Amino acid sequence: MSSCNDDACKINAIITMDAKGQIVIPKDLREKADLKAADKIAVVAYEKEGKVCCIVMIKAERLAGAISKTLGPLLKGVIEKER
Protein backbone atom coordinates (compact mmCIF):
# COMPACT_ATOMS: atom_id res chain seq x y z
CA MET A 1 0.00 0.00 0.00
CA SER A 2 1.44 3.37 -0.93
CA SER A 3 1.86 6.09 1.63
CA CYS A 4 0.24 9.47 1.34
CA ASN A 5 2.27 12.37 0.07
CA ASP A 6 1.43 16.06 -0.02
CA ASP A 7 -0.13 15.75 -3.48
CA ALA A 8 -2.30 12.70 -2.80
CA CYS A 9 -3.67 12.85 0.75
CA LYS A 10 -4.75 15.87 2.69
CA ILE A 11 -7.54 16.93 5.00
CA ASN A 12 -10.09 18.69 2.82
CA ALA A 13 -12.71 19.36 5.46
CA ILE A 14 -13.73 18.69 9.03
CA ILE A 15 -17.41 17.75 9.10
CA THR A 16 -19.92 17.13 11.87
CA MET A 17 -22.38 14.26 12.10
CA ASP A 18 -25.90 15.30 13.09
CA ALA A 19 -28.19 13.52 15.57
CA LYS A 20 -29.50 11.25 12.77
CA GLY A 21 -25.98 10.13 11.86
CA GLN A 22 -25.95 12.16 8.64
CA ILE A 23 -23.04 14.17 7.28
CA VAL A 24 -22.74 16.79 4.56
CA ILE A 25 -19.84 16.70 2.13
CA PRO A 26 -18.84 20.31 1.42
CA LYS A 27 -19.79 21.65 -2.02
CA ASP A 28 -16.23 22.32 -3.19
CA LEU A 29 -15.21 18.74 -2.33
CA ARG A 30 -18.34 17.31 -4.05
CA GLU A 31 -17.41 19.30 -7.15
CA LYS A 32 -13.78 18.10 -7.12
CA ALA A 33 -14.98 14.50 -6.70
CA ASP A 34 -17.65 14.97 -9.41
CA LEU A 35 -20.37 13.86 -6.99
CA LYS A 36 -23.93 14.55 -8.07
CA ALA A 37 -27.32 13.96 -6.45
CA ALA A 38 -28.25 10.24 -6.51
CA ASP A 39 -24.63 9.09 -7.08
CA LYS A 40 -23.81 5.89 -5.22
CA ILE A 41 -20.89 6.01 -2.80
CA ALA A 42 -19.19 2.91 -1.40
CA VAL A 43 -18.12 3.23 2.21
CA VAL A 44 -15.10 1.13 3.13
CA ALA A 45 -14.12 0.69 6.77
CA TYR A 46 -10.68 -0.41 7.90
CA GLU A 47 -10.45 -2.20 11.23
CA LYS A 48 -7.57 -2.51 13.65
CA GLU A 49 -7.86 -4.54 16.82
CA GLY A 50 -11.62 -4.94 16.31
CA LYS A 51 -12.38 -1.22 15.95
CA VAL A 52 -12.89 0.86 12.85
CA CYS A 53 -9.92 3.19 12.57
CA CYS A 54 -10.49 4.65 9.10
CA ILE A 55 -13.49 5.19 6.83
CA VAL A 56 -13.02 5.83 3.11
CA MET A 57 -15.71 6.86 0.63
CA ILE A 58 -15.33 5.92 -3.03
CA LYS A 59 -17.67 6.78 -5.87
CA ALA A 60 -19.25 3.39 -6.62
CA GLU A 61 -18.71 3.58 -10.39
CA ARG A 62 -14.99 4.17 -9.85
CA LEU A 63 -14.79 1.29 -7.41
CA ALA A 64 -16.58 -1.02 -9.83
CA GLY A 65 -14.19 0.01 -12.61
CA ALA A 66 -11.15 -0.60 -10.40
CA ILE A 67 -12.45 -4.02 -9.38
CA SER A 68 -13.17 -4.98 -12.98
CA LYS A 69 -9.73 -3.79 -14.08
CA THR A 70 -8.03 -5.75 -11.30
CA LEU A 71 -10.16 -8.88 -11.07
CA GLY A 72 -11.12 -9.17 -14.74
CA PRO A 73 -7.72 -10.41 -15.95
CA LEU A 74 -7.36 -12.68 -12.92
CA LEU A 75 -10.76 -14.28 -13.43
CA LYS A 76 -10.11 -14.65 -17.15
CA GLY A 77 -6.89 -16.49 -16.36
CA VAL A 78 -8.67 -18.82 -13.93
CA ILE A 79 -11.46 -19.57 -16.40
CA GLU A 80 -8.97 -20.27 -19.19
CA LYS A 81 -7.00 -22.65 -16.94
CA GLU A 82 -10.17 -24.65 -16.16
CA ARG A 83 -10.92 -25.24 -19.83
**What tens digit of pLDDT does each residue of 29-68 get?**
999 999 999 999 999 888 889 999 889 888 888 887 777 7
Contact 25, 15 (CB under 8 A): yes
Residue 15 belongs to some domain of the structure: no
Does an H or E element contain 50, and which? none
CA nearest neighbour of 45 among 34, 36, 35, 56: 56
Residue 71 belongs to some domain of the structure: yes
Greatest Cα pair distance, the chain, in angstroms, is 55
DSSP label of 21: S
Residue 8 belongs to some domain of the structure: no
Residue 74 belongs to some domain of the structure: yes
Does an H or E element contain 31, and which? helix 27-32
Contact 63, 71 (CB under 8 A): no
Please give the tally of structural domains in the chain: 1
Residue 23 belongs to some domain of the structure: no
For residue 20, the model assigns a pLDDT of 98
Residue 14 belongs to some domain of the structure: no
Instruction: Note down the domain range covering 58.
Output: 38-82
Residue 25 belongs to some domain of the structure: no
pTM for this entry: 0.64
